[in-house]
Structure 1
Amino acid sequence: MTVLAVDIGGTKFAAAAVDADGAIAARAEIPLRHRARPEETLLEVVGRVTARVPAARLEGVGIGSAGPLDPVAGTVSPVNIPAWRGFPLVDALGGLLPGRPVRLAGDAQCMALGEWWKGLPERGPSGAVLGMVVSTGVGGGFVLDGAPYLGPTGNAGHIGHITADPDGEPCPCGAAGCVETVASGPSMVRWARANGWTGRDARALALDAHAGVAVAELAFRRAADALATAVLTAAALLDLDHVVVGGGVAAAGPVLLDPLGQAVARNAGLGFLRRLRVAATSLGRDAGLLGAAALVLPR
């Protein structure tokens, strides 16, 4: 059995044909080129996959998307894609593969599910995993005992919108001081530039942090502290075993993950919180695609 997996992020779309054992038969990734018409990028990235694996071979579609989303209606309204408000993503992709099942979940939920399926071989048959995507925004999703926990509206896990600073900056979601206002790539760059850094983007900020530039290092430490607040809040509520971190900003590696691990360890007061493992996704950019496929594949 082979299915189409689609991963919708704030700056790039990816798609893959995934077999039942998790093997990726074809894969494509495209930057979001037309922010006013994201569906053009969607059709292009899916078309690149179906050019290699014919649509007739694909037996379903799994979608991981930045949110908020409505899995019942099949619509998405990603905070960082303003052109999509209530966009009928399930219908749009279902129309490309008529008669096949289509399943929708959050992108971080899919990342966590992909890690549970293929990236955490030491896990037992039960347990709780938080996936965090740190990129243009900050997303999250839970897998509990092997199944994604979506919540009544499909939006469980929006960890980027836990309040890190009640007096903080306005967030695109409408609140203030959310984790995303400190720890997303654009937020980190904005803060660094306001404090004298002259670089352009999150990639350059990461390179400067690795090189020991003080303001860049501090931008990552601030982000790590905000993320640690969210992680420990979720862990206190759900007794988490693992946190896996992915996304473009997380690709910076130790300059984010080391201070994140230190902040979690420093502030984990309760004994059960101290067993929590925090690590980068072991599957890289494929975690979300594998999790989206797992929404459809029999498990």
Structure 2
Amino acid sequence: MQTDLVAALDIGGTKIAGALVDGHGRILVRAQRPTPAQEDGDTVMLAVEEVLGELTSTPLWSGATAVGIGSAGPVDASAGTVSPVNVPGWRDFPLVERVRAVTGGLPVELIGDGVAITAAEHWQGAARGHDNALCMVVSTGVGGGLVLGGKLHPGPTGNAGHIGHISVQLDGDPCPCGARGCVERIASGPNIARRALDNGWRPGPDGESSAAAVAAAARAGDPVAVASFERAAQALAAGIAATATLVEIDIAVIGGGVAGAGDILFAPLRSALKNYATLSFVQHLTVTPAVMGTDAGLVGAAAAALAGRPSTPVAGVG
């Protein structure tokens, strides 16, 4: 029987994914359900239970020693509750308690989805070998997590490193979080597209007005599209530099759909970073794309579960 096997859940507004993952980060069994995001809390939990049911019915389940959960947030790891913005039926929902009941009392570790992706990139991905790192997801929102001193640093509630809600424009647009000028309000995919449209960019014949469409226009030389990505890159650079100056990270890893723009995002980001990361101890900060892809949430949740077990320290995830 494997003794380094854990269950992992990756819970978002679109899908609930589950897996059995070994101590090397290999996914051995998978299960998935759509998230019934607009239904009541118990209906959403039923989908989680169906995913877990697929995992518990496999012969490998007997070797599982813990459960890791990476969830859309806010999460409160100290209370074991989740309140995902895009799942209104879950408000202070006791997810840890409910999952523990379904899995026969196994230990459960809860972290935010940005922290989960950070754990994955540090354990198996682009931040491997770095003791101090920021990993980010730039997509519909902007999230992130920190590795400090070689260890994942989720903070007391599991939300540390949430770079999307650092303000980089003091009198900027109001953000849904209640603050102004947040990184997310400038650099998220929908806001890149919104700014391009506001400044005169128009979609092509297919009518697609996403950040990916803006990126395609930027690659074709559209100056408004280029400017919208440059503005997003500037906001990201300011947020990354602020984080690096505060806690001395040496690498920032960026994933998510917006990072798929490639050099349309990364070239102006690296250029802008020189204007913000100016002190000697942050001048050599590296910015690089994430490599873990769509499995990052599951692998990161597994890393948290493995690290949470007192008897089994795992290199890079402790």
- Of residues 95, 110, 113, the one that matches 1:107 is 113
Match of 2:11 in 1: 8
Cα distance change of structure 1 residues 131 and 208 upon mapping to structure 2, 3 Å threshold: same
Match of 1:64 in 2: 70
- Which deviates more, 257-266 or 206-215? 206-215
Displacement after TM superposition at 1:257 (Å): 2.0
Cα distance in 1 for partners of 2:49, 2:185 equals 31
Match of 1:23 in 2: 26
Cα distance in 1 for partners of 2:12, 2:263 equals 23
Match of 1:92 in 2: 98
Displacement after TM superposition at 1:71 (Å): 0.5
1:206 paired to 2:215 = yes
CA contact (8 A) 2:126 2:290 kept: no
Task: Extract unaligned runs of 5+ from structure 1.
Answer: none
- Of residues 133, 136, 146, the one that matches 2:150 is 146
Displacement after TM superposition at 1:9 (Å): 3.5
Cα distance change of structure 1 residues 143 and 26 upon mapping to structure 2, 3 Å threshold: same
Cα distance change of structure 1 residues 249 and 211 upon mapping to structure 2, 3 Å threshold: same
Displacement after TM superposition at 1:280 (Å): 0.9
Cα distance change of structure 1 residues 46 and 223 upon mapping to structure 2, 3 Å threshold: farther
Match of 1:255 in 2: 264
Cα distance in 1 for partners of 2:139, 2:47 equals 19
Displacement after TM superposition at 1:108 (Å): 1.7
Match of 1:187 in 2: 191
1:86-128 CA-partner distances (Å, limit 9, x unpaired): 122222322331221110112222222212211258626xx21
1:169-223 CA-partner distances (Å, limit 9, x unpaired): 2212111221111111222222222223333323333333333333332222211
What is the one-letter code of the residue matched to 1:194? Answer: D
Question: Equivalent residue of 2:147, what SS?
Answer: strand
CA contact (8 A) 2:114 2:143 kept: yes
Cα distance change of structure 1 residues 159 and 27 upon mapping to structure 2, 3 Å threshold: same
Cα distance in 2 for partners of 1:214, 1:283 equals 32
Match of 1:136 in 2: 140
Structure having the higher Rg: 2
Cα distance in 2 for partners of 1:166, 1:221 equals 19
Cα distance change of structure 1 residues 225 and 144 upon mapping to structure 2, 3 Å threshold: same
Match of 2:309 in 1: none
What is the one-letter code of the residue matched to 2:288? Answer: A
1:227 paired to 2:236 = yes
Displacement after TM superposition at 1:233 (Å): 0.4
Cα distance in 2 for partners of 1:121, 1:181 equals 26
Cα distance change of structure 1 residues 121 and 182 upon mapping to structure 2, 3 Å threshold: closer
Aligned length: 297
Match of 1:78 in 2: 84
- Which deviates more, 232-241 or 187-196? 187-196
Q: TM-score w.r.t. structure 1 length?
A: 0.88
Question: Equivalent residue of 1:157, what SS?
Answer: coil
Displacement after TM superposition at 1:28 (Å): 4.9
CA contact (8 A) 2:138 2:254 kept: yes
CA contact (8 A) 2:80 2:95 kept: yes
Question: Equivalent residue of 2:305, what SS?
Answer: coil
Displacement after TM superposition at 1:282 (Å): 2.1
CA RMSD after TM alignment: 2.5
CA contact (8 A) 2:37 2:87 kept: no
CA contact (8 A) 1:141 1:149 kept: yes
Question: Equivalent residue of 2:102, what SS?
Answer: coil
CA contact (8 A) 1:149 1:156 kept: yes
What is the one-letter code of the residue matched to 2:17? Answer: A
Determine what percentage of the aligned residue pairs are the same residue: 49
1:29-60 CA-partner distances (Å, limit 9, x unpaired): 66645434544554455556556676444322
1:109-163 CA-partner distances (Å, limit 9, x unpaired): 2222212211258626xx2111111112111111112321122333211111100
Cα distance change of structure 1 residues 194 and 13 upon mapping to structure 2, 3 Å threshold: farther
Cα distance in 1 for partners of 2:39, 2:218 equals 33
What is the one-letter code of the residue matched to 1:181? Answer: R
Question: Equivalent residue of 2:109, what SS?
Answer: strand
CA contact (8 A) 2:126 2:288 kept: no
CA contact (8 A) 1:2 1:58 kept: yes
Question: Equivalent residue of 1:245, what SS?
Answer: strand
Cα distance change of structure 1 residues 84 and 172 upon mapping to structure 2, 3 Å threshold: farther
- Which deviates more, 24-33 or 215-224? 24-33
Question: Equivalent residue of 2:295, what SS?
Answer: helix
Cα distance in 1 for partners of 2:261, 2:51 equals 25
